[in-house]
Amino acid sequence: MDHFQEEQTLGKAYDSRLVRRLLRYAKPYWALIVLCVVLLLVIAVTDLARPYLVKVAIDDHILGSNISYVETSDLDDHNDLVMIQGYTLRREKDALDSDTNLRFELVRIDNEQRLQSTTGDVVLTLSPEEIRDLRSFDREAILRLGALLLIVVSAGFVLNYIQAYILQFTGQRIVFDIRQGLFTHLQRLALAFFDGNPVGRIVTRLTNDTQNLHEMYTAVLVNLFKDVFMILGIVVVMFRLDVRLAWVSLATLPLIVAITAVFRIKARAAYRETRVRLARINANFAENISGIRLVQIFRQEKRKFKEFDEVNSSHYRASMRELKVFAVFRPSIELVYSLAVAILLWVGGGQLLRGTVNLGVLYAFINYLELFFRPINDLTEKYNIMQASMASAERIFLILDEEPAIAELDSPRPMGEVKGHIEFRNVWFAYVGEEWVLRDVSFTVEPGETIAFVGATGAGKTTIMNLLSRFYDIQKGQILVDGQDIKELSTAELRRNVGLVMQDVFMFSGTIGENIRLNNPSIDMDRVESVARHVNAHHFIEALPKGYEEPVTERGSTLSAGQRQLLAFARALAYDPAILILDEATANIDTETEILIQDALPKLLAGRTSLVVAHRLSTIQDADTIIVLHKGKIREQGTHQELLAQKGLYHNLFLLQYKEDFKDSEGVS
């Protein structure tokens, strides 16, 4: 998963393979997603109903242009009858077979409303009271339509709320599952993966990239159904209302398709370029902050600022190019929308004047045209989300597809009670290719023995410790614990029996006590205090304001290196491992802490097999065996006195360190 691969994925706006994999995470929540889609369908119906209800109110009741009346002699039912100047009238659509053929239409002449027969023989000038009686049914109908419109709008509001809540809940659960799976998978990966991937990049996968997927699931995937429902529904309603006006309204559709196609090509290139520039800014910024001490001590502020300015300016120019693409698209669609409305008004207005179309129909078409263009206007945002989601999905799946370098057996052999017998048998190991760090290394450690490793930097001392903990797998040879190859054992069980104290002690956010027991419920506070006393850490913990409940900041920055080292000893002792590894655990500490550690070490090493990597030879003189490594091979092996007597590499290292210590003591005196 290199940087080049990540940049390549930024060019993809849609990848069916990735979408299929993303849909697998949505599968457990298919019922909720289907419910959201059904709700969106109902919401789309409520949205489509609003202009139609207003159209009915305008054409059928407000203007009255579609209303005609007939004279009737049937007086049995007075609910739908009205008496006007001696004529008993009812609406033509409610007429009975017994009604006469005298038909009236409501017209306006000289600012007066009149009932005029279709033959023109009878013209009734209406008074305000007669108009009110004649239009009483329309008033009631308008009230009913208003109430129905209020119900539709309210139902749409409630359904929108329910749908949005369910959709967001579902999206959060899906992303929760992805984060859980990603974190669990990362826990299983070997250290080799983390050696080649910066922490910042991995954290981005767990945060920003998963959030991008949440937006895709909620803003695009499900809402896409609503857009499709709305567009299809609008087209169907338009053609049912008026076929000619429907074709007129869709006349600009080819122009929309052309603009969208151009936008898709330009936006993809602009988006990719901007994200690549942004990645370079992040890398430059992170590098500069990490090395701020070096920058300041060598007065490199101007040079680093110039470098950052170049990268930042490049991102600015790319962002402006992207902005132009997105800034042109939406106004272009708005322009096409305005053109569509203008054409509709031109054609529809002419038909309205000729009386071939009603005002309510034209009003409904204008409303439906606005609803038709709304999802198209939202295309820029959805397209942006899709591009970000595809890039994020690619990067997330690159991690999930990373096979753990440490292969676990389906049925590992049980370790049983660990005695601590360790054997390296002809071990060869390289971090990269055949650049061997260890070459044919063989040694044996008996239970309860302490074995120390010395040598120059890069000799392979720490590598041996990493291999015993099975952070990496060897290429050749065998590593055995109590006669069993560690590749045949459970890695978790192996590490449970191996305690590790490193030079750079990592402290978690929490309290002192939590950092010693690492939230292990089987280790109570009495045990924590006991081990702290055992390794001489209790005296400084007790001096803290809250003692063992003292908060620890990130990485234990408020504690000294020596204090963190003592806490690491306490942590190792609390877990009581059969095998203990001390990797430069006594380096870089002050003299006072060194005295405390020297006193604690025998207590810590007693009764357990111990492997010690030491920089200070004075700390390992009592080791049962000292192994001298040079360029990945064992050059010398024996006790402190035996190695001095050989006058080899160990003797030279001892003299070199003794001279340095001697010079230091002369300088102090």
Amino acid letter at 117? S
Q: Which CATH number fits domain 419-497+610-669: 3.40.50.300, 2.160.10.10, 3.30.1330.10, 3.90.1300.10?
A: 3.40.50.300
> Is 647 buried (19+), middle (13-18) or exposed (0-12) by CB count in 10 A?
exposed
Domain made up of 3-59+142-400: CATH architecture? Up-down Bundle (1.20)
- Give the separation between CA 8 and CA 188, rounded to whole angstroms: 27
**pLDDT at residue 600, as a whole number:** 74
Rounded CA-CA distance 610/499 in Å is 9
Radius of gyration of the chain (CA): 41
Residues forming a β-bridge with 637: 627
What is the predicted pLDDT for the residue at 555? Answer: 67
Q: How confident is the model over 514-537, as pLDDT tens digits? A: 888 887 888 888 898 988 888 888
Which candidate, 619, 594, 618, 588, places its Cα nearest to that of 605? 619
Cα–Cα distance for residue pair 663/669, rounded to 1 Å: 10
Residue in 546, 530, 550 with CA at minimum distance from that of residue 538: 530
Q: Which of 273, 287, 285 is nearest to 324 (CA)?
A: 273
CB–CB of 237/352 below 8 Å?
A: no
Residue 71 and residue 89 in contact, taking contact as beta carbons nearer than 8 Å: yes
User: pTM of the prediction?
Assistant: 0.72
Distance CA 258, CA 261 (A): 5
Question: Could you give the residue ranges of the DSSP H alpha helices within 405-474?
Answer: 461-468
Q: What is the pLDDT of residue 13?
A: 57
Residue 666's pLDDT is 43
From CA 8, how far away is CA 5, in angstroms rounded? 5
Which amino acid, residue 443? F
| CATH 1.20.1560.10, the chain: domain bounds | 3-59+142-400
Q: Tell me, what's the pLDDT at 426? A: 95
Q: One-letter amino acid identity for 644?
A: L
Q: What is the pLDDT of residues 332-360, one digit of tens each?
A: 888 998 999 999 999 988 888 887 888 88
**pLDDT tens figures, 21-72:** 888 888 899 999 899 889 988 998 999 999 999 988 888 778 755 577 788 7
Amino acid making up residue 207: T
Residue numbers in the chain where pLDDT is lower than 50: 1-11, 662-669
Q: What is the pLDDT of residues 427-467, one digit of tens each?
A: 999 988 888 999 999 999 999 999 999 988 888 998 999 99
Residue 507, SS3? Answer: coil
Q: Contact, 418 vs 37, CB < 8 A?
A: no
**What are the φ and ψ backbone dihedral angles of 624, each rounded to 5 degrees?**
-65, -40
What is the structure's pLDDT at 66? 58
- Range(s) for CATH 3.40.50.300 in the chain? 419-497+610-669
Provide the pLDDT for residue 1. Answer: 43
